[in-house]
């Protein structure tokens, strides 16, 4: 199946700093990518929808100025957690589906674990 990668796989940062997480579709192009967040022992919760060449769409309760999303190409979306605080510590996961060719499903990245001290 298609491959979605994320970088870094884990990151530890100090409170108040910013962290950038990359999501790449390795063997297909994706007009739309999705960013999820997962807290311990909970399910995945959608944060935002990333659209190539346009502004992201954020879910209710997700601060767009805190979680900056850039989808500059058909294979890369980035999520920047600005002024991170300990409550932002979580498992961040992206997903994407091919824009062309056989479609019908989405593929998820391996996730990025963020720990804010």
Partner 1 sequence: DAKTTQPPSMDCAEGRAANLPCNHSTISGNEYVYWYRQIHSQGPQYIIHGLKNNETNEMASLIITEDRKSSTLILPHATLRDTAVYYCIVGNYGQNFVFGPGTRLSVLP
Q: Which residues bind partner 1 (CB under 8 A)?
A: 1, 4, 6, 32, 34, 36, 43-46, 49, 91, 93, 95, 97, 103-111, 113
The Cβ of residue 100 has, within 10 Å, a number of other Cβ atoms equal to: 10
Choice between 32 and 75, CB closer to partner 1:
32
Helix (H, G, I), strand (E, B) or coil at 87: helix
Contact between 15 and 86 (Cβ < 8 Å): yes
Alpha-carbon gap, residue 72 to 68, rounded angstroms: 12
Q: Minimum distance between the CB of residue 89 and partner 1, rounded to whole angstroms?
A: 14
Q: Minimum distance between the CB of residue 85 and partner 1, rounded to whole angstroms?
A: 22
Choice between 65 and 104, CB closer to partner 1:
104
Choice between 10 and 14, CB closer to partner 1:
10
Q: Minimum distance between the CB of residue 83 and partner 1, rounded to whole angstroms?
A: 26
The Cβ of residue 65 has, within 10 Å, a number of other Cβ atoms equal to: 8
- DSSP one-letter string for 65-97: TTEEEEEEETTEEEEEE-S--GGG-EEEEEEE-
Q: Minimum distance between the CB of residue 67 and partner 1, rounded to whole angstroms?
A: 15
């Amino acid at each position: 199946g298609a491959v979605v990668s994320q970088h870094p796989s884990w990151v530890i940062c100090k409170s108040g700093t910013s962290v950038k997480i990359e999501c790449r579709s390795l063997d297909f192009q994706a007009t739309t990518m999705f960013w999820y967040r997962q807290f311990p022992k909970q399910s995945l919760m959608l944060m935002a929808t990333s659209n190539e060449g346009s502004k992201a769409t954020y879910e209710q309760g997700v601060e767009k100025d805190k979680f900056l999303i850039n989808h500059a190409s058909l294979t890369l979306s980035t999520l920047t957690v600005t002024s991170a605080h300990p409550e932002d510590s979580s498992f961040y996961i992206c997903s994407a589906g091919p824009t062309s060719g056989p479609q019908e499903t989405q593929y998820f990245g391996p996730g990025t674990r963020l720990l804010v001290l």
